Amino acid sequence: MYRWPVRSIVLAVASGLLLPFCFPKFDIGLLAWVALIPLHLALDSPSKWRAFRLGWLSGTIGFTGIMAWVVTAMHTYGKVPLLVAYAVLLLLTSYLGLFVALYSAGYVWFRSLIPRYGLFVAPCLWVTLELARTYLFSGLPWSLLGYSQYRQLDVIQIADHLGVYGVSFLLVLVNVAIAELIAWLMPLFRGFVPARLPWELVTTAAILLGLSWAYSTSLIVGEGFQTPKTSLRVGVVQPNVDQSIKWDPAHRDDTLLRYDRLTDTLGGGADLVVWPEAATPFFFEREPEYQLRVLAIANRASAPLLFGSPAVRFDNERRPYLLNSAYLVAPGGTLLGRYDKQHLVPFGEYIPLKSSLLFFLDKLVEGIGDFQAGPGPTVFSFMPRQAQAAGEGDGGRPVKFGVLICYEVIFPDLVRRFAQNGAEFLVTITNDAWFGESSAPMQHFSMVVFRSVENHLAFARAANTGVSGFIDPFGRILDTSPIFTQTAMQAAVPVLQPHTFYSRHGDVFAYGCVLICAVLCLFGLFRTEGPEPDAIAATPV
> Which of 203, 207, 204, 201 has its CA nearest to residue 117?
201
Strand partners, 1: none
On the question of a cis peptide bond just before residue 467, with omega within 30 degrees of 0, the verdict is yes
> Which of 33, 65, 15, 28 has its CA nearest to residue 151?
28
> Which of 25, 3, 4 has its CA nearest to residue 467?
25
Angle at Cα 257 formed by Cα 253 and Cα 258, nearest 5°? 120
Dihedral, CA atoms, 123, 125, 131, 132, nearest 10 degrees? -160
User: What string of DSSP letters covers 355-416?
Assistant: TTTTTT---SS-SS--B---SS--EEEE--S---SSS---TT--EEEEEEEGGGGG-HHHHH
3-state class of 353 per DSSP?
coil
Strand partners, 429: 405, 462
> Which of 522, 500, 496 has its CA nearest to residue 509?
500
Contact call for residues 397 and 422 (beta carbons, < 8 A)? no
Contact call for residues 271 and 300 (beta carbons, < 8 A)? no
The residues annotated as belonging to the active site are: 277, 341, 406
Q: How far apart are CA 332 and CA 298, in angstroms?
A: 8
> Which of 123, 168, 177 has its CA nearest to residue 144?
168
In degrees and rounded to multiples of 5, residue 403 shows phi and psi of -125, 130
Kindly report the three-state secondary structure assignment for every residue of 423-486: CCEEEEEECCHHHCCCCHHHHHHHHHHHHHHHHCCCEEEEECCCCCEEECCCCCEEEECCCCCC
395, with CB counted inside 10 A (0-12, 13-18, 19+), is exposed
In degrees and rounded to multiples of 5, residue 124 shows phi and psi of -65, -40
> Which of 466, 438, 447 has its CA nearest to residue 163?
447
> Which of 180, 206, 136, 144 has its CA nearest to residue 449?
144
Show Cβ contacts of residue 141 under 8 Å, excluding neighbours closer than 6 positions.
130, 133, 134, 410, 411, 412
